Amino acid sequence: MPPHPGEVWLADLGLAAKTRPVVIVSRDDPDPPRALILYVPLTTQHRQSPYEVVLPRLPFLEQNSVANVQGLGSLPTVRLERRLGTLPDAVMVQIKRALVFALDLRTEAATVGTPVTRRPPCRPGRAVFPHPVPRLHSLPRRAEPLSALAPVCYGPQGG
């Protein structure tokens, strides 16, 4: 039986010969190119981090647990030992949001491979540099205050 997103499995993560519960976050793929799954480990150590999702009390888990999305990893499916249960859909939505935060995935990108752009601080059509461009042929300048390091716009009407 292949694992599905939202299922909690006991997995051999190779840590001190101990199995750990993990949440499957891989998408359903009827013909995966490799026998790997993506997982988020569960832990009982709650650090109140934005990278953690608190799980409700679940009958198949012995203790209160959190999903630690910073521990995202991949694992061969043969290392999954047994299925424990399935998380509620609302919890999976929270885990997905935490993964978006942890991986800094942006929703404004329309497709994979499209660069994510931010609105420049100047009008369109101007080159934007985060700091003044150094002149390699000039003499060293005196120290400038930090306020002088703000973004500078170069163009027909820029500084």
Asked if 133 and 62 sit in the same domain, the reply is: no
Residue 108 in domain: no
Q: Does residue 92 lie within any of the structural domains?
A: yes
Is residue 56, in this structure, part of any structural domain at all?
A: yes
Kindly state whether residue 76 falls inside one of the protein's structural domains: yes
Task: With 0.85 as the threshold, say if the pTM is over it.
Answer: no
Which domain does 70 fall in, by range? 7-103
Establish if 72 belongs to a structural domain. Answer: yes
**Do 60 and 99 fall into the same domain?**
yes
- The answer on 90 and 25 residing in a single domain is yes
- pLDDT digits over 22-37, tens only? 999 999 888 888 889 9
Q: What CA–CA distances, in Å, run from 102 to 22, 23, 52, 55, 98?
A: 17, 16, 10, 18, 6
Instruction: Give the pLDDT band (50/70/90) at residue 43.
Output: very high
What distances in angstroms separate CA 98 from CA 20, 77, 87, 117, 141, one per listed residue? Answer: 20, 24, 15, 22, 46
